[in-house]
Structure 1
Amino acid sequence: MPHLKRVLVGSAFAGAFFIGAPAAGAADAGAAELPNPVVDSAGFVDHVRGELSSVGVDTPEVDAQVTDAVDDALNQVVPQVPEVPEAPAVPSAPAAPVAPAAPAVPEVPELPVLPEVEATQEFATDLYDQAEALTNPNPIGLQELTQPEFKPVQVDPNYVWRNDMFSKVAAGKPFDDFVLHRAPGSFFDAPRVPEESNRAMTQGKSLYGPGTPIYINDQTMCTLTMAGTDAESRKVGVTAGHCAEVGDSVASADSWQVGPTGTVVSKNAALDYSVIEFGSDAEVTNSYNGVTAHGVGSDVQPGDVVCKRGVATGTTCGMTLMKDDKIQLNQVCATVGDSGAPVFRNGQIVGAISGGIRPGNIGVSCITPLQGALHVPTVVSNSDAVIADMNRRGGVGAGFKLA
């Protein structure tokens, strides 16, 4: 019976992935083969509810108003493929050679205008109240402890271990001993502190690379897009513009004990990026916590699958829906804390997470892997535009290259 339950729960998560994930492979078969997308969020949620119910996990019924609103919102931002008219029939025995009428060319529908960055829901997050966290009688956040001999190390008040069944199921890991939460509102199993960060910390330094979680002024948590050097050999990094203001201090959330090791020196609100200059107690790298950046910039097209790495939701992938010179719109899962997270395609950093778009102020945020692709689209700042603007402005960050 325990084995049967394990199989059934596993099938629920597999079903959630295959039903909810976009058909990324269809893009490689040619745009003409793409069907018009049909979103049935109610059916998806009912499927997952049924699977979980079979192993004794009861969940509330689907709210039809919510799922219908999600379907409408997603269908508004996903461009529809026009129907190709049938070719005109050729007459079998014309009395005189008559040129057949040319088939009518279907009108190409106008793509929805990509949202302004200011209109998106920002993915930066205020930290938990430090005093409340430090006086919590259960400071490492454990509930229904099943292995009392194992005590996860308390790293900081935002590094919260959970082993209650709800947290493990919501993270898609019901049979793990513990899952980790690092940002409020996210049920994903968050990335741990990597060993390379611990090694740097023993030398009194903080290590920064693509995907490093950062604290701004000890008040806001975001994710670093990339780290490297500029034309003057200064150590610099980039994150989302709405995360910080010029003059704010920056510390690694993976080695916060070292203290602030960087300062925000410039930002561009229109492109939503900030430039950080690191000090002597910081080291920069192009490879961090299992993620390696081989370059910056690439020509991403609708239909391409991209992936991101953020502190709140870890590594997630999704299909690119639209793009212009400044931003992309895709179905990569991201939430608060993931602002600035690097977006990759073929090892290249092609953008940074900016926020989520909610058409008509409706839609569902991405807070658990059980949702698959059933969440609001994500807005991404194009890395090509960011690098070009840094070079145009000059100063710290101009001539940026990866470490």
Structure 2
Amino acid sequence: MGNLAPARWSLSAAVALTAALTAGAGRADAADLPIIGGGSGIVIANTTECTLTTIGHDDAGRLVGLTAGHCGEPGQSVLSETDPNAGVLGRVAASNHDLDYAVIEFDPDRVAPSDRVGSVSITAVGGPARFPATVCKKGRTTGTNCGVVWGDVFASGTETWTQMCVLPGDSGAPVVAGSTLVGMVNAYLGVGCVGPEVGTTMAAIAADLDATHGVGAGFQPARGADQGVPAAGGS
């Protein structure tokens, strides 16, 4: 399952991209709502398995989330991988293929947003991590792991390369420094978990969202209770 991530222009001068990552009425009882946060497995258009980067609110008060842009197109449905019977939780509102991120508008009556999934919590959005920092990610396929930051290899101003293990389905996974969201997983080079991983910085995504003045502009992460929810496919 899943689509191949398109190679982005800043990678074309490097090695070939050998794999890409894909990877009705509201419920009456809030306790039954699916808990969704950065690192949760999601299914887009009933076919593509990806990972939610984060969930929160934009400056218009909408409940929104982010994932990789190659995971879905505007209008496509979004379901919880771990609770598919909950039905459609939201839809893709916008997809930017240059920066490879998508915005999801969730139905607040059908989702319980969380700032923590498993061992990864997101309390803030920050600038790009730089060498030799270590960052971690939470993907629906490979779970939680960490690696050294190589930095913006081609000085694109939008990317960070790391040595984290990622596989198909980890697309969109949050990249965190502590509890600060600094990027998302978009692609990997090489074979399997040999790496490196390539991702878009949250600084670039946030700036683009704010410039569009659309769904997701002014994004702030949710400050929900610590749910400790495991992501599908990994610990």
Which category of TM-score, normalised to the shorter sequence, fits these structures? 0.7 to 0.9
Deviation at 1:398, TM superposition (A): 0.6
Q: Which of residues 173, 187, 191 in structure 2 aligns to 1:364?
A: 191
Give unpaired runs (5+ residues) of structure 1.
Answer: 1-112, 126-199, 358-362, 367-374
Q: 2:40 aligns with which of 198, 212, 221?
A: 212
Please report the TM-score for the alignment, with normalisation by the length of structure 2: 0.81
> Which residue number in structure 2 is paired with residue 115 of structure 1?
11
- Matched with 1:124 is 22
1:305 aligns with 2:134: yes
Greater RCO (CA < 8 Å, at least 6 residues apart): 2
Bigger CA radius of gyration:
1
Instruction: State how many pairs are aligned.
Output: 203
Distance 1:116 1:211, change over 3 A: farther
For 2:185, the aligned partner's letter is I
1:116–1:386: structure 2 CA closer, same or farther, 3 Å change rule? Answer: farther
Identical pairs, percent: 37
Q: Tell me by how many angstroms 1:299 deviates.
A: 3.6
| Structure 1 partner of 2:183 | 351
1:269 counterpart = 2:97: yes
| Runs of 4+ displaced beyond 6 Å | none
Structure 1 counterpart of 2:66, from 229, 235, 238: 238
1:227 counterpart residue number? 55
- Preserved CA contact (<8 Å) 1:326 1:385: yes
1:110-162 Cα deviation digits (max 9, x unpaired): xxx95259x6331103xxxxxxxxxxxxxxxxxxxxxxxxxxxxxxxxxxxxx
Equivalent residue letter for 2:35? L
Could you list the per-position Cα deviations for residues 19-73 of structure 1 after superposition, in whole angstroms to 9, with x for gaps in the alignment?
xxxxxxxxxxxxxxxxxxxxxxxxxxxxxxxxxxxxxxxxxxxxxxxxxxxxxxx
In 1, the alpha carbon distance for the partners of 2:128 and 2:143 equals 24
* Superposed CA RMSD: 2.0
Matches within 5 A, 1:40-119: 115=11
> Do the aligned partners of 2:173 and 2:185 also contact (CA within 8 Å) in 1?
yes
Q: Aligned pair 1:332/2:151, yes or no?
A: no
Q: Deviations over 1:314-340 (max 9, x none)?
A: 111111113141001111100001000
User: What SS class does the counterpart of residue 388 from structure 1 fall into?
Assistant: helix
Q: 2:75 aligns with which of 233, 247, 255?
A: 247
Q: Is the contact between residue 209 and residue 227 of structure 1 (CA under 8 Å) also seen in structure 2?
A: yes
Unpaired runs of 5+ residues, structure 2, are 1-8, 223-235
Q: Secondary structure, in 3 states, of the residue corresponding to 1:239?
A: strand
Please identify which structure carries the higher helix content.
Answer: 1
The answer for the alignment partner of 1:391 in structure 2 is: 210
Match of 1:13 in 2: none
Higher fraction of strand: 2
Letter matched to residue 392 of structure 1:
A
